[in-house]
Chain A
Amino acid sequence: MVLIQVIVGGLLLGAIYALFSSGLTLIWGMMNFINFAHGEFVMLGMYVALLVVVWLGGGPAAFGLAAAIALFALGVAVYALLIRHVVRGPMLAQILSSFGLALLLRYTAFWIFSANFVSLPQNSLAGTVAIGGIYLPVAQVVAGLVAVTLTIALHLLLTRSTLGSRLLAVAEDRTAAMLMGIRPDRMQALTWGLSAGAAGIAGALLATAYPWSPSVGETFGLLAFVTVALGGFGSVLGSLYAGLIIGLIEAISAYWLGAIYKDIVVYGLFVALLWLRPQGLMGKA
């Protein structure tokens, strides 16, 4: 019974991993860029949720939306001010830019919020729910389900809508897209906004169910890498499957081996993937 609870809990958390990882994979697929600061976007989403609750007394819908909007704006700003200028330059500049941004965001958060772990005050998602003999916190269930929905929605947006096909056109061939009247710059800014927004919402969802500190950005960043590596760089659907798998593996490792070792398993999996199958489950190499 406990095992089932662990498994379901892992899958629910994995759904949230899927959500924020789909943002990372989007950027990779779109412009061959690895955003080392993506984990920090999630972390900031969590703090935005906290601030909305503490200052405005908002409920889950309010802080979820706030996190989405705030991070969307940040994503666009980061693209316009920084990424746009380095993406066609030397590799050193590209990697340093997002890596430096990660440090900047992470330690600014440490400075402002201190290293203490915090969690959201009680809200409408408190309490536990019993489903078929196992007990799960309401927040975890809601967060997980919302995450799956949003990830699928993102996938549909990309594959079924006009906007999505425009984004994919720019990813395929910038010049051709320009000739078709699409503005690559705008599309890429939008991609960054979507990516950061997804991370922000994921952060808000995580905040409802788990405590955190500014250090989680680094962990989530690496988790996002692992998920994207497994699911395939560029595939949102791949991120969904991979996120669930990673959440599952993480939960089972923690259960069987202990919390410390779960990190080793996950990162070890990442290294193994890079070695054996860098294109992941469903991605383009």
Chain B
Amino acid sequence: MKKLLAQPAGGQRVSVCLLAVALVLYPLVFSDAFYRDVGVTFLLAAISASAWNIVGGYAGQVSVGHSMFFGLGAYTPLLFYTLWGWPPLAGIPVGILLSVGLAVIIGLPTFRLSGHYFSMATIAVAELIRIFVGTWALVGGAIGLQGPAMARGWWDLTFRGDLPYYYIFLAVLALVLAVTFALERRRFGYYLRAIKSSERAARSLGVPVRRVKLQALALSAAFTSAAGSLYGVKTGFIDPDSGFGILVSVQMVIFAALGGAGTLFGPLLGALILVPLQTAANTWFGGGGSGLTFVLYGGIIVLIARFEPGGLFDLWRRLAPHLRRRAHAA
């Protein structure tokens, strides 16, 4: 362990490989339905939070209404099935397209103003869509939509048991992280971080700030929509609250912020900590626990904002040199 800590790059690669192996083996080792369900929930949370991270963590444009993309992604597959009997799979790309379109519509006017306008717009639009969908009978109104009860083929994405879902979700998570990693190393990633740090300085160096922000938001929206689609086909059910509710948005933000917004694995770490905690709280406190859960969420977010906006990864980065020194000295 001391050797691992002593070599930052080496240690990181080993940890990532270990993590990957652990994630692949997890549902095989813990084959009980309960544990697999937690695993699937964790993966979904990690995907959503990592998607949010692209625009909220890296670019620093804090969306607190990302549920609008999640909900669009969750509704379209089930809508295609309910209206025309089409396989939910067909709805997934449509959800992504709609979300990207929505992202551009929101970003265009608000990105030329200060960051607060964007945040406010995201809350308002998400709420607007939630209420609107709740009144629109075509998309299920307040009751919502359901997916296929029995699978007619693999394209219905209606599997019995969690195992297929687990590996599909894992693949998507790997994709999100791979894309984020690739962008991090290229010009786009540098521009994102520059914008987060100081838009004014970035502009003075020729960074096309508005365009980069739009691209980040569009990409984030696309992945969030995909996460929503996965949620929709797995649960087989969606309604305005589970799709567009504010809690969906909050969870993405808190998972990313706790682990470390703007870091590659921060959202994963946040999900790794909070999903089991939330599951445990629900088990111990039953239904009443969920009220307390969000008191806790609120408290955690405030503490992160006040003391450690960079999340746990930032905390680790600050403490690690001290630990490394102790490892060498020992």
Chain A residues within CB distance 8 Å of chain B = 28, 32-34, 36, 81-82, 85-86, 89-97, 99-108, 110-111, 218, 222, 225-226, 229, 260-261, 263-264, 267-268, 270-271, 274-276, 278
Roughly how many angstroms separate A263 CA and B130 CA in the complex, as a whole number? 11
Residues of B within 8 A of A108 (CB): 295, 298
**Could you name 26 residue pairs across A and B whose Cβ atoms are closer than 8 Å?**
A28-B116, A85-B306, A86-B306, A86-B309, A90-B309, A91-B196, A92-B309, A96-B309, A97-B301, A97-B302, A100-B304, A101-B298, A103-B301, A104-B302, A106-B298, A107-B291, A107-B292, A107-B294, A110-B291, A263-B128, A264-B132, A264-B135, A267-B128, A267-B131, A276-B109, A278-B113
Given contacts A85-B306, A92-B309, A278-B113, contact A263 B131 (CB under 8 A): yes
Q: Chain B: how many interface residues by the 8 Å CB criterion?
A: 45
Q: How many Å from the CB of A112 to the closest CB on chain B?
A: 10
Contact of A92 among B62, B116, B123, B125 (CB under 8 A): B62
What total of A-B pairs shows CB separation below 8 Å? Answer: 140
Q: How many Å from the CB of B110 to the closest CB on chain A?
A: 6
Residues of A within 8 A of B291 (CB): 107, 110-111
Roughly how many angstroms separate A36 CA and B253 CA in the complex, as a whole number? 15
Roughly how many angstroms separate A86 CA and B303 CA in the complex, as a whole number? 11
Known: A92-B60, A229-B120, A263-B128. 20 other contacts (CB 8 A): A32-B114, A36-B123, A82-B305, A82-B306, A90-B196, A90-B309, A92-B56, A95-B119, A100-B298, A100-B305, A101-B302, A102-B298, A103-B250, A103-B295, A103-B301, A104-B302, A260-B134, A267-B131, A274-B120, A276-B109
Q: Which of B60, B117, B291 has the most CB of A within 10 A?
A: B291
Roughly how many angstroms separate A222 CA and B113 CA in the complex, as a whole number? 19
Q: How many Å from the CB of B313 to the closest CB on chain A?
A: 14
Q: Is the CB of A218 within 8 A of B246?
A: yes
Residues of B within 8 A of A103 (CB): 250, 294-295, 297-298, 301
Roughly how many angstroms separate A93 CA and B62 CA in the complex, as a whole number? 10
Residues of A within 8 A of B294 (CB): 103, 106-107, 110
Residues of B within 8 A of A34 (CB): 116, 119-120
Residue of A nearest to B116 (CB): A34
Residues of A within 8 A of B123 (CB): 36, 222, 225
Roughly how many angstroms separate A239 CA and B196 CA in the complex, as a whole number? 31
Given contacts A92-B60, A92-B257, contact A104 B135 (CB under 8 A): no
Q: How many Å from the CB of A51 to the closest CB on chain B?
A: 19
Residues of A within 8 A of B135 (CB): 260-261, 264
Q: How many Å from the CB of A262 to the closest CB on chain B?
A: 10
Q: Is the CB of A111 within 8 A of B128?
A: no
Q: Is the CB of B128 within 8 A of A268?
A: yes
Roughly how many angstroms separate A33 CA and B128 CA in the complex, as a whole number? 23
Q: Is the CB of B117 within 8 A of A274?
A: yes
Roughly how many angstroms separate A267 CA and B68 CA in the complex, as a whole number? 14
Q: Mark B162-198, 1 if CB is under 8 A from A, else 0.
A: 0000000000000000000000000000000000100
Residues of A within 8 A of B116 (CB): 28, 32-34, 95
The 5 closest A-B pairs by CB, nearest first: A100-B301, A103-B298, A104-B298, A97-B305, A93-B309
